[in-house]
Chains A and B, each alone.
Chain A
Amino acid sequence: MATAISVRQLAVTYPARGRQAAVAALRPVDLEVAPGRIVGVLGPNGAGKSTLLRVLAGRQRPTAGAVEVLGLDPAAPALRRRVAWQPEGPLPLDVLSAREFLQWIGAELGLANADADARAERWLDRLDLRRAGARWIRTFSTGMHKRLALAAALLADPDVLLLDEPTAGLDPFGSEAVMQILRERAAAGAAVLMASHHLLEVEEICDEVVVLQDGAIQARGRLDDLLGGDAHALVVRGLDARGLDGLAADARARGGQVLRVERPRDHLFALFRRLRQRPPESR
């Protein structure tokens, strides 16, 4: 199969209600996601990201256009197990324990009890929820909710993952674990479409991005193509102030511009990653 998700001229308009005018949530949108690719959907609030995911999950009927997921109508019952959708917002049945919740998801997806149990334990473990497995979901923090929702989405090893803000509210370790899992799923052939406001994470994990604004696609493509420019930059390390001055003068003499000179530093994410790799007592 060439594409996992195929969207042609998709439009969604919420009809007028009373004094409220009709809202065009998605203007004609085209999109294709191949198996094994991670595509980020970016855009401000109200841009149509969640609506796009709802359509692909079969929970929103398009006003116009053609949508296929794994070659089928998104609402096809056969896709319930093959396509996982993690909507934004709270989980249902929050008086269940995390383990019971995953068992319920497994039952709804038609997994055998033993199989569902094994998968639930695996994902609870992987997403650092094993110790909270017997706790009521309503006692969970936002990040734990998110991790459990992702565990539920991953339970049946779906071929397509539709994730709405999968890392919102997660701590850096949780975010990194989620990104690692998504990379693995993509490597295993799953197509991942994730809406997110976390630009750094999208940059780090996504092969392509789609930028939505007012329901229309403003930009799309591979990150290298979107973010790269014509000019080149030189990054040096190990020179003292004198050496840097000389290099800057040389650059100017050659017609270049020296924009700024700064001390190199890592971003916070790398710091957290380093801290996590240390043994606990030395943290």
Chain B
Amino acid sequence: MSAFGGRGPFGLTLRRCLALAAPATALGVAAALLLHARWRDEAAVEAAPGAASPWLALPLCAAAFAVVVTTMRFWPAFGRGRAGRDWIDRLQRGRLGGCGCALAGALVAYALLALPVLLALPPGLGAPAEAFAAHALQPQGGGLLAAAAPRLELRCPSGEPVRELRLRPLVGLPTGAWQGAVVRAYADGEALPPLPAAFGDNRQPVRLAFPPRPVRAFTLVYESGAVPLGFDASAAEAIGSAPRPRWGNALAALLLTAVPAFVALALGALVGQVSRPATALATAAAALFLGAIGGQGPFLPAVLGVLRGEWLATTALFRAGAPSLTLGAAAMIVAMFVRAKVQR
């Protein structure tokens, strides 16, 4: 163990993070299972397996917080005036005083802790056993489906055979006496089985399964009702029929859920060049809170995707993580310049 990861800041931080974050992660797993068992909503599980139990976020958040706090407290270059900072500044060759290597060690530690969780825990929380690609359908025209505009085409850009249509439209104010919207779906002009429910609530999820087939476009026809439906970019999805490897999905989720920890440590490295350790730690913790629990970035969507059995590698989640990654990378680059300026 003593040589695991090497003797530099990477290995030292990696081992320290594993030692301190592993118990926190284990506690998170136990809490997630407990909470799932205590507040399991059977009706919601029926509508969207796994999604009703968001507790997978708990151990991942615990791991991310533990890794970030451990790293910031462990490596002296994350803050001015730290004990022994003189040693670090003189010995470290890197432009970030070892913060970059420490950050890498922390992320590897997070990966080693989070990957088993992402592989083993979702089935225990009711997630589907296999992951399938979820293709966002592109509504044509204004995306309105109502008695006055009774046909709406949803383009399916992927050529992959699909087996399920998932709709979550916005519901407008009724035009007369309230009556739910009854909609019929067609795949490339061919009628699909009737939808199992009429749309009455905003973002009400409705799923329609059918034999797998390649589809270029779905057409929705408004048959009856008094409420208009709005379809934005996230209101309709077609689910692919080919199951994807669970480890691949776990790996994608790992990358996406590691983004807040990366951003937090990068900001901590930047702030730590000019501020006291407490300020740097508070900055990193705030960034992590926003990224993980606050829903800014790909963390929560990735967790929900895993629980819904969505294949994350084909979703737009990676694009959604780009601003966070850019922010983190920019923080590290600026930190190098700031350090060079304040060094001597």
Contacts and interface: CB of A to CB of B under 8 A. Distances in A.
B309 interface: no
A61 B344 CA distance: 6
Given A58-B90, A96-B12, A106 B7 contact: yes
B89 A94 contact: no
A57 interface: yes
Interface in A69-120: 75, 77, 80, 85, 87, 89-96, 100, 103-109, 113, 116
A95 B16 contact: yes
B64 to A, nearest CB: 21
Given A59-B344, A60-B344, A75-B344, A92 B7 contact: no
A100 B2 contact: yes
A80 B90 contact: yes
Nearest to B12: A104
Please classify the interface of chain A as helix (H, G, I), strand (E, B), loop, or mixed, using the class held by over half of its residues. Answer: loop
A59 B7 contact: no
Contact of A85 (B7, B12, B88, B90): B90
B159 interface: no
B90 A92 contact: no
Contacts of B8: 104, 107-108
A59 B6 contact: no
A95 B74 contact: yes
B6 to A, nearest CB: 7
Contact of A93 (B3, B74, B92, B344): B74
Interface stretch (B79-87, B134-142, B220-228, B330-338): B79-87
Contacts of B148: none
A92 B76 contact: yes
Interface in B1-21: 2-3, 6-8, 12, 16
Contacts of B92: 108
B93 interface: yes
A113 B8 CA distance: 11
Interface string B87-125: 111111100000000000000000000000000000000
| Residue among B83, B86, B87 with most chain A CB within 10 A | B87
Contact of A57 (B2, B88, B90, B93): B90
Interface string B66-78: 0000000010100
Given A57-B90, A109-B91, A91 B83 contact: yes
Given A100-B2, A104-B8, A107-B7, A89 B344 contact: no
A57 B87 CA distance: 11
Contacts of B85: 92
Contacts, number: 63
Please classify the interface of chain B as helix (H, G, I), strand (E, B), loop, or mixed, using the class held by over half of its residues. Answer: loop
Contacts of B83: 89-92, 94
A177 to B, nearest CB: 22
Measured as residues with beta carbon below 8 angstroms from the partner, the interface class of chain A is 20 to 34
A107 B84 contact: no
Contacts of A95: 16, 74
| Residue among B3, B7, B83, B88 with most chain A CB within 10 A | B7
B177 to A, nearest CB: 70
Contacts of A106: 7
A108 B93 CA distance: 8
A92 B89 CA distance: 11
Contacts of A80: 90-91, 93
A87 B88 CA distance: 11
Interface string B180-208: 00000000000000000000000000000
B6 A107 contact: yes
Nearest to B20: A95
A108 B344 contact: no
B291 to A, nearest CB: 27
Nearest to A99: B2
Contact of A104 (B7, B89, B344): B7
A113 B344 CA distance: 31
A89 B86 contact: yes
A153 to B, nearest CB: 10
Contacts of B87: 87, 91-92, 152
Contacts of B12: 93, 96, 100, 104
Nearest to B91: A108
Contacts of A105: 91
A85 B91 CA distance: 10
Contacts of A152: 87
Contacts of B76: 92-93
Nearest to B73: A95
Nearest to A137: B84
A258 B86 CA distance: 53
A104 B8 CA distance: 6
Contacts of B344: 58-61, 75
A77 B93 CA distance: 8
A105 B88 CA distance: 10
Nearest to A116: B7
A165 to B, nearest CB: 14
Contacts of B82: 92
A57 B91 CA distance: 11
A87 B86 contact: yes
A173 B76 CA distance: 32
B84 A59 contact: no
Interface string A29-67: 000000000000000000000000000011111000000
5 contacts: A59-B89, A92-B88, A93-B84, A113-B7, A116-B7
Given A89-B83, A92-B84, A108-B92, 9 more contacts: A58-B90, A59-B86, A61-B344, A89-B86, A92-B85, A93-B12, A95-B74, A100-B7, A104-B12
Leading 4 A-B pairs by shortest Cβ distance: A92-B84, A107-B7, A108-B91, A90-B83
